[in-house]
Chain A
Amino acid sequence: AQTVTQSQPEMSVQEAETVTLSCTYDTSESDYYLFWYKQPPSRQMILVIRQEAYKQQNATENRFSVNFQKAAKSFSLKISDSQLGDAAMYFCAFTIYFGNEKLTFGTGTRLTIIP
């Protein structure tokens, strides 16, 4: 069974600064996908970034980037130039593909942006 662990229940960062959210996972699979989703108070889960395990290059989406360490089973999210709109719960998620694209989520990290 796959598990995803987010060890930081809460994080805070000053506006315009950089913050890193941690995620580790456990799997015996070699081919899988990792995601970061953002859930603001509106509740809608929004895809932030995704990483394919077979790619060595870390994914980047504007101010969001990941540090994917496959051997260490680590997948951290870095948010640069933090903005007030980044305040939300952030969930790390994992899936393997075998015809059932079930997502396994961590427990989330609540990110607060300090003006």
Chain B
Amino acid sequence: ETGVTQSPTHLIKTRGQQVTLRCSSQSGHNTVSWYQQALGQGPQFIFQYYREEENGRGNFPPRFSGLQFPNYSSELNVNALELDDSALYLCASSFHGVETQYFGPGTRLLVL
């Protein structure tokens, strides 16, 4: 059984740039959720994708967007990066209707 994987592990961008983060779900899972974890904080829900559509969104602006592909992998895109976007971005996969989510190792984004 393959676990959740994320790429890249680290990323440095400058303010105003755009970034794409990638996530492959655990085998057998069809739902992907994205979370932002600022330093010293708990993760905050960004959005969830199921059947290639957004299935719920947290309190994040529209410049945070995502995709889910037919193989259930997912991308998180952030446009017009701001300094406060510096954080650990976590992807979690699950099977729709089953509440337990399994997390990937995360992508550390630094915006300068």
For residue A43, CB closer than 8 A to chain B, the reply is yes
Cβ-closest chain B residue relative to A4: B42
Please give the distance in Å from B105's CB to the nearest CB on chain A.
5
A-B contact count (CB 8 A): 64
| Interface flags, A87-115, vs B, CB<8A=1, else 0 | 00001010101011111111110000000
Question: Which of chain A's residues 37-62 have a Cβ closer than 8 Å to chain B?
Answer: 37, 42-47, 50
Given contacts A91-B42, A102-B56, A108-B42, contact A45 B90 (CB under 8 A): yes
Of the candidates B31, B88, B96, B103, the one having the most CB atoms from chain A within 10 angstroms of its own CB is B103
B88 and A43 within 8 A (CB): yes
- Decide if A44 touches B100 in the complex (CB within 8 Å): no
Q: Is A75 an interface residue (CB 8 A)?
A: no
Range for the number of chain B residues in contact with chain A: 20 to 34
Residue A33 interfacial (CB < 8 Å): yes
30 A-B residue pairs with Cβ-Cβ distance under 8 Å, sorted by A, are: A35-B100, A37-B103, A42-B105, A43-B88, A43-B106, A44-B106, A45-B43, A45-B90, A45-B106, A46-B103, A50-B100, A91-B42, A91-B43, A93-B42, A100-B56, A101-B48, A101-B98, A102-B45, A102-B48, A102-B56, A102-B58, A103-B43, A103-B45, A103-B92, A103-B101, A104-B45, A105-B42, A105-B44, A107-B42, A108-B42
Q: Which residues of B pack against A, CB within 8 Å?
A: 31, 33, 35, 40-45, 48, 55-56, 58, 88, 90, 92, 94, 96-106, 108
